[in-house]
Chains A and B, each alone.
Chain A
Amino acid sequence: MKELVTFQVGSYANFIGSHFWNFQDELLGLLEDPQAHLVFKNQNLDMDVLYRTGETQQGMPTYTPRMISVDFQGSLGSMSSSGTLYNHNPSSSSRVATWTGNVSTQASEPHKKNLFLQRLYDEGQETNGSEILDTDVVKSLEDGVQFWTDFSKVHYHPQSLFELNGSWMNPQEFNNYGIGRNTLSEGLQGDEINERLRFFIEECDHVQGIQFMVDDSGGFSGVAASLLENIEDEYTNVPVLLYSVRSPNSYNNLTSRKLSITRNLHDAVSFSALSSLCKLIVPVGLPSLSESKVSQYLNVENEKPYQSSAVYASAIHSITIPFRMKKVGPTGESSNESGGMNLYECIQMLAGQGRQNSVAVLDAAMPPPSMAAGRFQQPLLGNLQPLTPETAHDVDDSQAIESLIVHGALGAGEHEASVSEVSEAVETEYESTSSRPRFSHLSLSRCPLPIPLPFPSIFNNLVGRRGDLLLTTPTESGSSSRRGSLDVHSIPMAARLRSTTAVLPFLENRLGYIRKFGIERGSIGASVLTSWGFGREEVEEIGENLSKMVLTLDPQQGYSSDDSD
């Protein structure tokens, strides 16, 4: 059980993915950097889980993410869809080898590379004297990120980046499940993406699973559903962990009633379809990240996907850590990490036993409190706040199952706490909480989250250089209230997947939408659903599917259809 394949479908999923791969790239860089801190040297994470080794036709070795990204045509900005590593003769390519007649060229205006990318690609080449400074780079990213490629420092394989075309519509109109389904069923685009997946899976000796991020706020959820159907067909026993992600912008208020009904129906249909096609679904994306409790030490601007996606990417990075811990020795224990498991085991634990609930809540503490004298200075469990929308607070669920990952936790005197220290501290906290979960799994690593240069400045001034929490604000607080990669080099992280009744409101809302707008006789949304290709029976099936999910968590509830919203 080894390799993971990553899917990123839709614009916001690619923003998150871009940050995610930046972290991995940073970890790889630190592993080779002689000056890097010891925890990064001994990280003991198996990067081959996420990356593949390859070779260009010229014999250059390559190491690229095992990833497929799907997005609109033109969403790659200045990056070529065939990546940067495998093109060696761009000069000869402008010759037309297949036609001797006239050639007419239509060139769109090239996208200008921003300062960050300019510096990235000029490395090793003679620059004309003008060195680009870190501060300028950070500033240019703060103001001008338009595409997810603008802040990506990773080289991708040519099979990785797929641009969806031929849809003849504005991205704004690509806003529902039905449209996405149709786009992929026309032509050969679906086949082409499935071929690329096959390319990556064929190389794997023993694939442990697929992590799938989808921006499910619009048509891409339909695209994802088609792709997931193929995965279920072709790779039946390969488990899929699905993150359905949403940017804060997707929650913008809609003025017209018709549009908001469409939106609600989309939410219900999309969730029902996606959840039935994966082993575990994790809805991610708060309507207002900046005002949520997660942002205790953060200063995020909701309207910038560049900033908000960094938070979700950090949490998702933490969740993947146990999947790639190297097994050391017969007991699997080492002084640097513990609690490794593979994706299958993780899903099996959360969704495969007890209630068989396949929806999980993602929580994060960014950063978690430091430790002193064998315990956390503030309660860690209390600091973990949900990144999943529409969850209930303070639920008392004796059946809850959770998987907690803490990595890079700091101990006294700014040293990383040892694995056993953290493990004991967490145990103590579980002992003392009132609502202890039925089962919990703990994964620990000493390796913190490195903050790469293109990470947005989203920390507030309580966060120190190594993610330690400063108890007093620095005196010159006027200078800048937001700190980024120049001031913070790494942070500890804690993240948790929870199978709990706290997710009930999320499910109930969706069930309410489909009942109110789709199933009830003469409901307003029936025509919308028909236009997406759902017959009456299929709509009822969606309703049943959702109500089954609710009943799984809350068997007592005889759900009545009139208490929605």
Chain B
Amino acid sequence: MSVRVLNPNAEVLNKSAALHMNINAAKGLQDVLKSNLGPKGTIKMLVGGSGDIKLTKDGNTLLKEMQIQNPTAIMIARTAVAQDDISGDGTTSTVIFIGELMKQAERCIDEGMHPRVIVDGFEIAKKATLLFLEKFKTPVVMGDEPDREMLKMVARTTLRTKLYEALADQLTEIVVNSVLCVRKPEEAIDLFMVEIMHMRQKFDVDTRLVEGLVLDHGSRHPDMKRRAENCHILTCNVSLEYEKSEINAGFFYSNAEQREAMVAAERRSVDERVRKIIALKDKVCKGTEDNFVIINQKGIDPPSLDLLARAGIVALRRAKRRNMERLVLACGGEAVNSVDDLTPDCLGWAGLVYEHVLGEEKYTFVENVKHPNSCTILIKGPNDHTIAQIKDAVRDGLRAVKNTIEDEAVVRGAGAFEVAARQHLVNEVKKTVKGRAQLGVQAFADALLIVPKTLAENSGLDTQDIIISLTGEHDNGNIVGLNQHTGDPIDPQMEGIFDNYAVKRQIINSGPVIASQLLLVDEVIRAGRNMRKPT
């Protein structure tokens, strides 16, 4: 209240009002995202003021699309989005877990507990849960040959929450293969080496894995081949267009001839570079039917294109910077920055290069490469919002596979972990805690149940029955999850439902932190807001 003395315009919310503001915001956000969760969740279609459509079942995308204004909700949303940045998934779970922690805490506070005590309980429970997770996780050995089946199960679990089953299953194979394609022993997996390309086509949805690369542009010369087999690939970053050098000031020539001479000299140096490339082509292709393709990061102007076309070379200009790396990984050879030291060793190889044209959009496929360490996932869909949604799902799937390989562990899904952790907290941990912090542990344990509860709710099942039957099974020592079709307990291991270890760990880690911070807020001061309004 003393703030009022300093600034009479400041708005102050006192202790209980501040707390309830935070709790309500958390619950509100939970309500919005709750229906997203799981393979039976609801997909959300957002239609903007101009009729633009966004389609999403991903908490992360949804949070970004929502114009959130409430400061508490923004804090939670930031945590959740950070969750996605770090582990690639689990945004929705984070939000509903935080919401549930706040809800459980509210009950205790209404009964007269001090938030500090609850927060202490949360802290104890969090540590215990993380320890439990270490014991609970299923280790996966990732030697030179990773367990494909396991990777597929993880990818399928993620994808089925974003796309309908048949489509998800089709993508599962693609996602796993592409991660294994870019995986190099002893190195972190760089998912950027998987290019995700899309094409708009009339009706159906189709996705395929191209072992090689798909570029979203084509050659810019009418005489260049549209399809070439047995290609030597030159990946380069060399300007093949006429540029004015920085020093000479364009129009202070004393006469037109002088200017022409300067221009011609500049032109010659470009032509020289082109000729060196043609010389290399003649060297490697001589006497064979082989073809030669240049993919350049810099520009190639029409006179240079002409020269190249006459020499029978296919040339693409202004390639993406990342494709330079990908091309080398896919085709071999190296990316060159100068034409001075060209040798046949710089060249990569592709069995087939061809162009595909859709209206003004051109695509160049570089396929049949020998040992691809880079690949492209090509998504075809009828419209932008469908493509965007599949793209998001593919990204999540890739992250899930990558996480599994790096964690060397997975966690049994379908709510099994949450129920097991809850029983562990209630049956074991709580007894070791002295005093009222026990209630905090209990609140935390109950909050964990929100995941199976929401899964049941979204499947139209009775949540109470489900929780009772699941906890009962767990107390008997059976690790079970929820069958979303029947509501019966199932063994996630048998069904192949696995979640990422990193995702679960991150949720358990960050959820209580943010919830505790929000619970400990005992005053909200809004200074400055009123001052900004013109009076």
Interfacial residues, chain A to chain B (CB-CB below 8 A): 54-59, 62, 73-74, 76-82, 89-90, 92-94, 96-111, 165-166, 168, 170, 172, 187, 195, 198-199, 201-207, 234, 237, 255-256, 259, 330, 341, 344-345, 348-349, 352-353
CA–CA, A341 and B252, complex, Å: 13
Known: A237-B243, A341-B250, A345-B250. A103 touches B205 (CB 8 A): no
A-chain residues with CB within 8 Å of residue B69 when the two chains form the complex: 168, 170
**Chain A nearest Cβ from B233, distance in angstroms:** 18
CA–CA, A316 and B39, complex, Å: 54
Are B45's CB and A96's CB within 8 A?
yes
**Chain A nearest Cβ from B359, distance in angstroms:** 4
CA–CA, A73 and B53, complex, Å: 13
**Chain B nearest Cβ from A163, distance in angstroms:** 9
Give me 13 A-to-B residue pairs in the complex whose CB atoms sit less than 8 angstroms apart, sorted by A's number: A74-B49, A78-B49, A79-B50, A97-B205, A98-B43, A99-B43, A104-B42, A107-B46, A195-B320, A201-B318, A206-B242, A206-B302, A207-B299
Is B6 interfacial (CB 8 A cutoff)? no
Are B42's CB and A101's CB within 8 A?
yes
Are A255's CB and B359's CB within 8 A?
no
Are A98's CB and B251's CB within 8 A?
no
CA–CA, A202 and B300, complex, Å: 9
Known: A165-B65, A166-B64. A344 touches B52 (CB 8 A): no
CA–CA, A199 and B52, complex, Å: 22
CA–CA, A146 and B403, complex, Å: 47
A104's closest neighbor in chain B, by CB? B42
B103-134 contacts to A, CB under 8 A, are none
Are B167's CB and A98's CB within 8 A?
yes
**Chain B nearest Cβ from A86, distance in angstroms:** 8
**Chain B nearest Cβ from A160, distance in angstroms:** 14
CA–CA, A107 and B55, complex, Å: 12
A-chain residues with CB within 8 Å of residue B165 when the two chains form the complex: 100
Are B243's CB and A80's CB within 8 A?
no
**Chain B nearest Cβ from A475, distance in angstroms:** 42
Are B52's CB and A81's CB within 8 A?
yes
A62's closest neighbor in chain B, by CB? B360
A74's closest neighbor in chain B, by CB? B49
Known: A102-B42, A111-B49, A202-B317. A168 touches B383 (CB 8 A): no
Query: A-B contact count, CB below 8 Å?
Result: 165
A253's closest neighbor in chain B, by CB? B534
Is B386 interfacial (CB 8 A cutoff)? yes
Partner of B249, one of A106, A234, A353: A353
Partner of A259, one of B164, B220, B393, B532: B532
Is B67 interfacial (CB 8 A cutoff)? yes
Partner of B51, one of A110, A170, A202, A341: A110
A81's closest neighbor in chain B, by CB? B52
Is B358 interfacial (CB 8 A cutoff)? yes
Known: A166-B64, A198-B320, A201-B318. A98 touches B48 (CB 8 A): no
Are A206's CB and B301's CB within 8 A?
yes
Is B47 interfacial (CB 8 A cutoff)? yes
B41-80 CB mask vs A (1 if < 8 Å, else 0) is 1111111111111010100000011011100001001100
Are B249's CB and A202's CB within 8 A?
no
Is B344 interfacial (CB 8 A cutoff)? no
A-chain residues with CB within 8 Å of residue B299 when the two chains form the complex: 201, 204, 206-207
Are B244's CB and A344's CB within 8 A?
yes
Partner of B385, one of A58, A89, A93: A93
Partner of A101, one of B41, B51, B382, B534: B41
Are B49's CB and A98's CB within 8 A?
no
Known: A56-B359, A205-B302. A110 touches B50 (CB 8 A): yes
Partner of B250, one of A82, A107, A344: A344
B-chain residues with CB within 8 Å of residue A259 when the two chains form the complex: 532
Are A103's CB and B45's CB within 8 A?
yes
Known: A93-B385, A345-B251, A348-B250. A106 touches B52 (CB 8 A): no
CA–CA, A101 and B205, complex, Å: 17
B-chain residues with CB within 8 Å of residue A204 when the two chains form the complex: 299
B425-460 CB mask vs A (1 if < 8 Å, else 0) is 000000000000000000000000000000000000
A-chain residues with CB within 8 Å of residue B43 when the two chains form the complex: 96, 98-99, 101-104
Given A101-B39, A195-B320, 10 further pairs, Cβ under 8 A: A57-B200, A74-B67, A80-B51, A100-B165, A101-B43, A104-B35, A107-B46, A207-B299, A348-B250, A352-B249
A259's closest neighbor in chain B, by CB? B532
CA–CA, A57 and B203, complex, Å: 13
Partner of A255, one of B52, B68, B384, B532: B532
A-chain residues with CB within 8 Å of residue B64 when the two chains form the complex: 165-166, 187
Are A59's CB and B359's CB within 8 A?
yes
A-chain residues with CB within 8 Å of residue B53 when the two chains form the complex: 93-94
Are B531's CB and A256's CB within 8 A?
yes
B348-371 contacts to A, CB under 8 A, are 358-361
B-chain residues with CB within 8 Å of residue A57 when the two chains form the complex: 200, 358-359, 361
B-chain residues with CB within 8 Å of residue A206 when the two chains form the complex: 241-242, 299, 301-302
A-chain residues with CB within 8 Å of residue B256 when the two chains form the complex: 330
Are A76's CB and B50's CB within 8 A?
yes
A-chain residues with CB within 8 Å of residue B46 when the two chains form the complex: 105-107
Partner of A55, one of B40, B204, B241, B360: B360
Is B490 interfacial (CB 8 A cutoff)? no
